[in-house]
Amino acid sequence: MSHYEGDLRAPDNARFAIIASRWNARITDALVAGARQSLAGNGIAEDAIDVVRVPGAWELPLVAARLAASGRHAAIIALGCVIRGDTRHYEHVADLCAEGLMRVQLDHRLPVLNGVLAVERVEDAEARAGGSHGNKGEEAALAALEMINLVEQLP
């Protein structure tokens, strides 16, 4: 029986893309900082990380698809923050963003990490952007490293 499991080693010359929404910038800036620190802490050089800012979470899948099609990146880390409001807009944006990111991942066979927070209140986002629940940008970057390594091992 074979056993496959990734670790946190990226291949030499691997490039990473971090796509982050500007909406809820205080939160997304913290997520981007966490992702960058996590990659740097695992040996990824600053010049091997491309950061692309988009208006909001809705725009993340399109940019992820363009970057994935370029073939330049070993993984794409999508970061954003959608906070529930008084309308159903929250569900449309959060759900369809997640579906779009999954589609890019499957269509391009490239790790696309969904680090888009979908939360009830701004306090929930703060807790996940460096607060009491850690930094989900950091966690998405670690998952990107692991997935690159795992995918390379698979037959």
The response to whether 86 counts as a known ligand-binding position is: yes
Would the pLDDT of 88 be above 80?
A: no
Domain boundaries, position 51: 14-143
Query: How does the average pLDDT of the chain come out, rounded?
Result: 94
Q: Please, what sign has the CA dihedral across residues 135, 92, 16, 107?
A: positive
Q: What are phi and psi of 132, to 5 degrees?
A: -65, -20
User: pLDDT tens-digit profile of 104-147?
Assistant: 999 999 999 999 999 999 999 999 998 889 999 999 999 999 99
Q: Does residue 98 belong to any structural domain of this protein?
A: yes
Q: Does residue 78 belong to any structural domain of this protein?
A: yes
User: Which active-site residues does the annotation give?
Assistant: 89
Q: Does residue 152 belong to any structural domain of this protein?
A: no
Q: Does residue 150 belong to any structural domain of this protein?
A: no
Q: Does residue 2 belong to any structural domain of this protein?
A: no
Q: Does residue 58 belong to any structural domain of this protein?
A: yes
Q: Does residue 64 belong to any structural domain of this protein?
A: yes
Q: What is the CATH number of the domain that holds 24?
A: 3.40.50.960
Give 122 or 90, the one with higher predicted confidence.
122
CB 103 within 8 A of CB 43: no
* Stated pTM of the model: 0.94
The response to whether 82 counts as a known ligand-binding position is: yes
Q: Does residue 55 belong to any structural domain of this protein?
A: yes
The response to whether 87 counts as a known ligand-binding position is: yes
Total structural domains within the chain: 1
